[in-house]
């Protein structure tokens, strides 16, 4: 059976360099290109890549994806910075490239995907929910893509269940003290030397609290999700948002 031809964009970065090793080690894949900032995207076409794994920066991802879609190359995207406007632009590119698939995964680790599921499930049963994400200090964006997605899922679950707004008597606060407001859910970002990628969802009700915590301790935690994404994205045209859609979570 022929191997899946995979390229990695952002190949010298923290997660990109790990992805290069993971693709090289996968029996069913061939690493055909490993591109860094400044490398010509023509190499993607010349390499015959079927899938591009996009692990660059929020300022590069859109141009890279535009290029992939123009050439019918499927994409597995871990890069953060997604807004409604960016998603609308991407959908336009996909409409013009029928048959091409793009997976955007706010988080490739199974534990983080489950954290989001658990938080979504629990959120309607508690009066208060806040998200705390903790990352290494070289991260350029805040809140994390995972925390933003988690808060959006929580807010949607609470809206669907008809939950009242969260109790909060704050009338004066130093700017930022209550975190960022993502669809009504406070999200707090910590940047700390020694950490990699961590998240807590704090839920509070009458006389009880529940904490759902996930820790990525090494970039290897993201690799099974990236490889799964490459295998599946070539079979699912259009936009898939969230790795959970490629997992059988029941």
Ligand X SMILES: O=C(O)C1=N[C@H](C(=O)O)C[C@H](O)C1
Ligand Y SMILES: NC(=O)C1=CN([C@@H]2O[C@H](COP(=O)(O)OP(=O)(O)OC[C@H]3O[C@@H](n4cnc5c(N)ncnc54)[C@H](O)[C@@H]3O)[C@@H](O)[C@H]2O)C=CC1
Residue 129 bridge partners (DSSP)? 203
Which of 4, 29, 31, 64 binds ligand Y (CB under 6 A)? It is 64
Q: Do the annotations mark residue 80 as ligand-binding?
A: yes
What is the per-residue binding string for ligand Y in 116-155, x denoting contact by CB under 6 A?
-----------------------------x----------
Tokens of 75: 């994409």
3-state secondary structure 176-216: CCCCEEECCEEEEEEECCCCCEEEEEEEEECCEEEEEEEEE
How far apart are alpha carbons 126 and 113 in whole angstroms?
21
Interaction pattern, residues 70-109, with ligand Y; x per rule: CB under 6 A: --------xxx------------------------xxxx-
From CA 222, how far away is CA 229, in angstroms rounded?
A: 11
C-alpha–C-alpha distance, residues 60 and 68, integer Å: 13
Tell whether residue 144 is a contact of ligand X (CB under 6 A). Answer: yes
| Residue whose Cβ sits closest to ligand Y | 13
- Beta strand segments in 10-89, E: 29-35, 51-54, 74-77
Whichever of 32 and 116 has its CB closer to ligand X, that residue is: 116
| 97 contacts ligand X (rule: CB under 6 A) | no
Instruction: Return the number of the residue (79 or 203) whose C-beta is nearest ligand Y.
Output: 79
For helices 84-95 and 61-70, what crossing angle results, to 10°?
Answer: 10
Please indicate if the annotation marks 136 as binding a ligand: yes
Question: Does 56 appear as a known binding residue?
Answer: no
Could you tell me which stretch among 16-24, 56-64, 69-77, 144-152 binds ligand X (CB under 6 A)?
144-152
Nearest Cα neighbor of 67 from 86, 52, 78 is 52
Q: Name the residues that contact ligand X, by CB under 6 A.
A: 80, 106-107, 135, 139, 144-146, 197
Annotated binding site for NAD(+): 10-15, 78-80, 105-108
């Amino acid at each position: 059976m022929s191997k899946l031809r995979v390229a990695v964009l952002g190949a010298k970065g923290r997660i990109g360099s790990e992805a290069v090793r993971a693709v090289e080690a996968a029996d069913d894949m061939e690493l055909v290109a490993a591109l860094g900032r400044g490398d010509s995207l023509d190499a993607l076409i010349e390499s015959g890549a079927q899938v591009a794994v996009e692990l660059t920066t929020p300022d590069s991802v859109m141009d890279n994806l535009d290029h992939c879609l123009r050439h019918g190359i499927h994409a597995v995207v871990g890069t953060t910075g997604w807004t409604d406007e960016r998603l609308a632009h991407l959908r336009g590119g996909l409409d013009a490239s029928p048959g091409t698939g793009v997976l955007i995964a706010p988080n490739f680790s199974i534990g983080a995907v489950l954290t989001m599921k658990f938080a979504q499930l629990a959120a309607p049963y508690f009066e208060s929910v806040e998200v705390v994400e903790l990352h290494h200090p070289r991260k350029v964006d805040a809140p994390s893509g995972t925390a933003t997605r988690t808060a959006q899922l929580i807010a949607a679950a609470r809206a669907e269940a008809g939950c009242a707004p969260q109790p909060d008597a704050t009338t004066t606060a130093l700017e930022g003290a209550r975190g960022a407001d993502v669809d009504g859910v406070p999200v707090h970002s910590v940047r700390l030397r020694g950490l990699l990628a961590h998240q807590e969802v704090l839920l509070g009700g009458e006389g009880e609290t529940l904490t759902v915590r996930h820790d990525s301790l090494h970039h290897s935690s993201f690799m099974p999700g990236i490889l799964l994404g490459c295998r599946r994205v070539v079979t699912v045209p259009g936009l898939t948002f969230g790795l959970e859609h490629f997992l059988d979570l029941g």
